[in-house]
Amino acid sequence: MKRNKVILYAMGILVGIVIYQIINSSLSQPGLEQWEGKYEEIGYFRNENNTGPVVRVLAVRVLDESPSWMKEFADAQPHSKYGKTHVFFFSGNLSEKLLLNPKAPFFDEKYRVFLLAEYEKTPMGESRFSFTNP
């Protein structure tokens, strides 16, 4: 009888440790705050089609021009199966908000001179990132 209680307590402690590890790793993941101070959103578009392909277009003014965080930031953006996600990174010299639309070129061509990088996640989840210095 005493041996059964010891085994039961040991299993309870092991289960408690596993649950603690799961909760701790789930709550300690970095979020969007890791990019705080590196960007400012200047435009966003999402079509209202919830049954077919969802198109998301995001325009961002960068305050830090390092391409590594831009790719990580774009990868962290939401994506729907069979939908497309586009993220455009503009230089800090662009001071106005952008009006975005669901079809290419997604924004007025006069802003292309400010474009630093663009990111696209295709309908099958493949990503393309291209860094273009003006």
Residues 46 and 11 placed together within one structural domain of the fold: no
Residues 63 and 124 placed together within one structural domain of the fold: yes
Q: What are 7-25's pLDDT values in tens digits?
A: 889 999 999 999 999 988 8
Question: What per-residue confidence (pLDDT) applies to 29?
Answer: 67
Q: How many domains does the chain have?
A: 2
Mean pLDDT, residues 93-120 taken together: 83
Residues 82 and 47 placed together within one structural domain of the fold: yes
Residues 65 and 101 placed together within one structural domain of the fold: yes
- Whole-structure pTM over 0.75, yes or no? no
Q: Is the peptide bond before 53 cis (omega within 30 degrees of 0)?
A: no
The domain of 2 spans 1-30
Residues 12 and 37 placed together within one structural domain of the fold: no
- Chain-wide mean pLDDT for the chain? 81
Question: What DSSP letter does each residue of 72-129 carry, written as one string?
Answer: HHHHTS---TT-EEEEEEE-TT--S-----SSTT-S-GGGGGGEEEEEEE-TTS-EEE
Residues 75 and 114 placed together within one structural domain of the fold: yes
Residues 82 and 61 placed together within one structural domain of the fold: yes
